[in-house]
Amino acid sequence: MTYRFFFFLSILFASVCVADDAEIIDLHKSLVSIQSTTKTGDPQTDERNVQTFIENWLKETAEKNNFKINIERQQVTEGRDNLYVYTGTERSTSVMMTSHVDTVPPHFGYRVEGDKIYGRGANDAKGCVAAMMIAFRDLLINKQIKEEGDLSLLFVRLAGRA
């Protein structure tokens, strides 16, 4: 059942995607290049900078494409927030896409060798974060979802034990 649902979502997103490969790769590279090491306690190396990048990208995208989103930072512990993004004015949505944005040490930057991409978080989980950001934008641009109450994103700063 779960696999069928994800297969359906991948077909849906593919049918509305307006991003080209270069845009997706650029977004992924930007995310992976930002250090987001879990539990450092240092604002320069923990998850705060990647969350700020995501927040700014989504705000600029919404403004550029004239759709309404709300972005909230939800404090989990001192200096640690989750980033919650939703369409419209109501916090309640039908579907939520979520992922963590923290990585384990040590940080190492983005690089491509042949057909492989390397970098801390390239697969777990900044690849899926980039896909979620593009899907969110493209579904709104193509009016495949309502601007009120259909979709939200949740980016958490800590996933389990790191």
CATH of domain 2-156: 3.40.630.10
Residue at 99: amino acid letter? S
pLDDT at position 63 is 95
Nearest to 36 by CA among 122, 115, 140, 96: 122
Per-residue pLDDT for 145 more than 90? Answer: no
Give 3-state DSSP helix, strand, coil % of the chain, rounded to 5.
40, 25, 40
The mean pLDDT of 50-74, rounded to a whole number, is 94
Structure tokens at 93: 């949505």
The mean pLDDT of 74-84, rounded to a whole number, is 87
Per-residue pLDDT for 53 more than 50? Answer: yes
Q: How far, in Å, CA of 128 to CA of 77, rounded?
A: 25
Nearest to 125 by CA among 31, 35, 46: 31
Which residues, 6+ apart, have CB-to-CB distance to 23 below 8 Å? 134
Per-residue pLDDT for 14 more than 60? Answer: no
- What residue ranges in 94-133 does DSSP mark as E strands? 95-100, 111-113, 116-118
Q: How far, in Å, CA of 107 to CA of 4, rounded?
A: 35
